[in-house]
Structures are given as structure tokens and as C-alpha cells.
Chain A
Amino acid sequence: MSNGLNGDIIQIRNLFKTYRVGNVDVQALRGVDLNVPKGHFLSIIGPSGSGKSTLFHVIGGLTPPTTGKVVVGDKDLSATTDAERTRMRKRTVGFVFQKFNLLPNLTARDNIAVARYIGGAAARPEPEFEEVLRLLGIGERLDHKPNALSGGEQQRVAIARAIVNHPAILLADEPTGNLDTENSKAVLEVLRDLNRRLGQTILMITHNPEAAAYGDSTVHMRDGRITERT
């Protein structure tokens, strides 16, 4: 992992994020500095409440930083509007969530097509995407709705949906949190393959040190700060 070098796809300086919960201000991030080079697989590990999900939300443009500088790709998120962050989510970042978050009414194929449509691309992915689907091992399951898929299959569909628009960064928030050991291993290997074969930049939040080991490097968070880099 490099710090402050040109070509870093994520550059964060002195990031603070404060939430208002009722009448109380909660400081979720307290001066985070982080650089992630393009093509890197970074694991973020830390206990609940350490601020890793908030960091994930800020990098993904789901919420603006309170203070500090956050540059993702060529966008400075500290100076963007809600509409600009919405546009950024279409193509710059792709999300994978712990609870899969597939649209339950749509088939796996349509879940992927919705992301393409919102991203402004044709509903049918490019032929090369078939290779990605084969890598994910869901080519035969695309016409099923989420309730007919196993947890592992749902998460692999969610990964396909996240990368179908070729985002600069894939953000995975506890992607194995709802999976058994076998499916967890399969999903983590898929993420590592995507990173190695396609050069996909990945940030993965996890509680599990074994899962974190799949990344190129790991940052540890506690109390809204990065405490260790390994």
C-alpha cells in the first residue's frame, strides 16, 4: 500500500464524520488518513463501532464527510453535492453487502441488468462479462429469484451486480458475514480472483482475521481511527 503517491485511487486526509443521533452528536470517524493504490485489495478489520462501516459509506458516496479530504478516483467527495455522489455510485463504486441486498422481486439476471440500466449502459452486459459470470459460478442460476438461491449464490450475484459497470472500486461490507465456512471461502476466492485477474480494486470490511488475510494488506480500526497497518 502506498501513501500519498500519484495514482492512488483513494486518498483520504484527516477525515472526520459526525452523526447526529437524536440530540447527541456521535463522532464515528476521528481523523482517518488512508491511501489505496489502484488494483489493491485492502481489508479493513475492527470491532463493532470502530467506524469501518462509516468509512465504507463515505468512500462509497452514501454520506458526505463532515470534514477532511476524500478523493475517490478524480472526485473530491468533500466538495460534491448529493446528486454528484449519486452519479458517482453509478460507475465509480460497486457495493457488496453482508445481507446480499438483492432486489427480491427480480431474477439474478434482472438484478444485474438493473445496475446496468441505472449506470446508463445497455441492459445486457458485454460478452466478456460472461467470463466473469463463469468465474463467479452463477451462469446457470441467473434466471432464479433470490429466494431460490443459496446464500453463497446470492452473494456471488451481488458481486456480479457490483462489478457489472466496471467500477473503479469494489466495496464489500462483511461479504461473508451471513455465509457458512464453505461459501465464505468461495466468495473470498472470487474476490481474490477478481482482484488478481481483472485488477479490480477492492476494499473489504470484515471481523474475521482469516478473511482479512485474503487482502494484499489490512488496516485495523478502533474508535474511529486507523490504529495499525499490516
Chain B
Amino acid sequence: MTGKLVLENIKHRPMRSLLSILLIGVPVTLILCLVGLSHGFIEDSQRRQRGIGADIVMRPKSSSILSLNAAPIPQKMVEYVAKQPHVKMATGVFSVAAEGVTLGAAGINYDEFARMSGGFKFLSGGPFQRPDDVILDDYYADQTKAKVGDTITLLNSKWRVSGIMESGKLSHIVLPIDTLRERNGNLGNVNQIYIKLDDPANTQATIDYLKGPARLAEYPIFSMEMFTSLLNVNNIPALAGFIAVVVGIGVVIGFAVVCLSMYMAVLQRTREIGILKSLGASKGFILGIILSEALFLGVGGTILGIAMSYGAAALIHALKPASLPMVIVYEWWWIAGSITVLGALLGALYPGLTAASHDPIEALSYE
């Protein structure tokens, strides 16, 4: 019967109910989008790193996992690494940020990289023909509507699109390493070295050897498995704090929306509360009805928020598939939902207690 009372109350004022659900759903969507973008960025990076086909990655001295802002590695180190035991081949890559922090461009030695990775799978066009050629993956080509033969502006200079490849190897944007280094004034340097071994079973032994005394002890050297596992949300500076802030905002919005909505509902239903009290309804019963209604709004808002996060993901994928890779993170449904429902229940507590403590005679005479 409590369920019926709650449902009928919600149905009785559909616009108020729908607006409350919508306002509760917005922060759920915000939380899920933020988490989805963070995870999407990480998963996209991991997928592209694994697509390289390397067993070991060597990074610049003092570099962090997600940043290459450190002293570059001299090109001659690539030749040095290539001569070490169990190393089948090594190739240097020069990466730069193309658009903010989420989209990078990588300069490669095409032949070396193709041998290591098995080559790009071209959807149209093909390898570099000229020093100012660029290869785009399908995500970035969709995002910029670029076609083979088009001239695009990247990194403050013009490039001709020589090919469009299937996404999943190294970067969304691939350039000839010499041209990129020249245009960046960084001749003779790389900022990552990818190493392929004669047998992946020798990975740890090779890392230990390279990091030995008088070799490359100062350079961060990781197995590809370790490197991709380090690419996670917790290693993105300040992201965890940023998510916590958005989650906090979500709680506050859920709290405020439900508090206001239920307070208005309690005022509008003062007489009905008096009627229930005249029938013998206890304070707990009245409070239970208000909290159940808030629970319904909270759950409704969560479901709508999840649905809207799918809409947001589809929109982002249509507009910025390369710059803003977003995934749906199912395990956050429960987290975002619990946070929102908690905020809604807290928001309903004051109106609920107000309703429960109404004097029945005053409530019955309320107009």
C-alpha cells in the first residue's frame, strides 16, 4: 500500500516528478561521462600501445607514465639498444601533443615501425610518399572529415594526408619522424624507444640487463605489459581528485533537488498528511512515504542519468572520436547510483521529518 501511495503521489504531479528525475539524472550523467572519458582515454592508450608489437618500452629520464616532458633520448641510443642481447629490433618514436593532453601525434621511421608492428591496415591511401605526409587513423579522419589527398593543418604546419589506417597502433596521427623533429627543432632525438625481442620470454632478463651498471640504469624501462598496466586513472595527475569533486557536486545537486522538491510536495500535501494522521498513521509511516518517494526519484534519476550517458557517449563519439574516447564504465553505475540515491534520501530527510511532525489538527485545516 505504501508503494501505491508513493506511485500515485508521483503520478499526481508528473511535471514535478519528471523535472526532479531529470535534475537528479544530470549529475549522474556528468559523473558517468567523466569516468567514461578517463577510462576511455586510458583504454585507448593501452590498445594503441599494445598494437605496436613491442615487448619493451624505454622512456626518457625523469618522465612520468603519461607525460614525455623530459630530456629527450638521443637517436644513437636506438642503435645502441638494437645491438643488445635478445633484441631483435628497436625503433625510436618522437611524440608530441597535438590537441591538449588527450590527443598526441607520433613521428615514426615508417619501415622500422611497420616491421615491428606488422604494418598499418590502410582503409584508404597508403604509406608516406612525401616528407610532409601524414597518416591518420579512422577516428581522427572521421573527427576532422579528412580524406586522402587533403591538406590539413597540424602543429602549426601543413600536412598532406597520404593514408587513413584502422585505429589501434601507436597514435591517431602518425608523421615522418625526421620532418616532425625538424619542425619541432629537435633533430637527432626521440622520446620513446620500442624494443622487440627474439623471444618475449626474455623480456625481464633483457630489462634487467639494460638497467645494469654502466648501461641504461637512469632510463625508465618497462615491459609492455607493465607499461600498459601503469596507464590507469590513478596515475593521471589530479584526476582522482577531480572525479571526487564532480561526485561531491552530484551529491549536493541530488540533495538540493530532492530537498526542494520534497519540501514543496510536503507543503502541497499538508492536508493529506493530516488525513493519514487522522487514520492513525505514525510518524514513521509518514517519513517512510516521503523517503520512499525520494528513493523512487533517486532511482529514476539514476536510470535516466545512465540513459543520458549513452546519449552523451554517442554524441562525443560522433563529434570527437579521437580526441575524447569515451567508454561506458558499468561498475560506476552502482557507485553513481548509490551516491545519488544517498543524496536524495538525505535531501528528503528534513521535509520528511517536517511532515512527520505536523500537528494533525493544523494539517487537516490547511487550505
Q: Chain A: residues with CB nearer than 8 A to chain B?
A: 57, 60, 62-63, 83, 86-91, 95, 97, 101-106, 110, 113-115, 117-119, 123, 161
Contact = CB atoms under 8 A, between A and B. Distances in A.
B361 A101 contact: no
B17 to A, nearest CB: 12
Contacts of B69: none
Contacts of A106: 4-5, 8
B1 A117 contact: yes
A149 B297 CA distance: 31
Given A105-B8, A105-B9, A83 B282 contact: yes
Contact of A86 (B8, B271, B282): B282
A101 B360 CA distance: 12
Contacts of A57: 361
Nearest to A95: B278
Nearest to A57: B361
19 contacts: A60-B278, A62-B277, A62-B361, A62-B364, A86-B280, A87-B282, A102-B275, A103-B272, A105-B5, A105-B11, A105-B12, A110-B4, A110-B8, A117-B1, A118-B276, A118-B279, A118-B281, A118-B285, A161-B279
Interchain residue pairs A-B with the least CB separation, the first 7: A90-B280, A89-B280, A105-B8, A117-B1, A105-B12, A101-B275, A118-B279
Nearest to A111: B275
Interface of B: 1-2, 4-5, 8-9, 11-12, 271-272, 274-283, 285, 359-361, 364
A220 B163 CA distance: 101
Contacts of B11: 105
Contact of B1 (A63, A83, A101, A123): A123
A102 B279 CA distance: 11
Nearest to A120: B280
Nearest to B282: A86
Contacts of A104: 12, 272
Nearest to B280: A90
Contacts of B274: 101
- Interface majority SS (helix, strand, loop, mixed), chain B: helix
Nearest to B278: A95
Contact of B279 (A63, A90, A105): A90
Contacts of A161: 279
Contacts of B277: 62, 86, 89
Given A114-B276, A118-B285, 11 more contacts: A60-B278, A86-B282, A87-B280, A97-B278, A97-B364, A105-B11, A106-B4, A114-B1, A115-B279, A118-B281, A161-B279
A86 B280 CA distance: 5
A117 B2 CA distance: 9
Contact of B364 (A83, A89, A101, A119): A101
A156 B275 CA distance: 16
Nearest to A123: B1
Contacts of B275: 101-103
A60 B283 CA distance: 17
A62 B285 CA distance: 17
A64 B11 CA distance: 36
A72 to B, nearest CB: 14
A113 B274 CA distance: 17
Nearest to B274: A101
Contacts of A89: 277-280
A115 B360 CA distance: 16
Contact of A91 (B271, B280, B361): B280
Contacts of B278: 60, 62, 89, 95, 97, 101
A114 B277 CA distance: 12
Nearest to B11: A105
A113 B3 CA distance: 13
A168 to B, nearest CB: 13
Nearest to A91: B280
Contacts of B281: 86, 118
B285 to A, nearest CB: 7
Contacts of B9: 105
A59 to B, nearest CB: 13
A106 B359 CA distance: 23
A115 B280 CA distance: 8
Contacts of A105: 5, 8-9, 11-12, 272
B5 to A, nearest CB: 7
Nearest to A92: B280
B287 to A, nearest CB: 13
Contacts of B364: 62, 97, 101
Nearest to B359: A63
B365 to A, nearest CB: 9
A117 to B, nearest CB: 4
A69 to B, nearest CB: 21
A62 B362 CA distance: 10
Contacts of B1: 110, 113-114, 117, 123
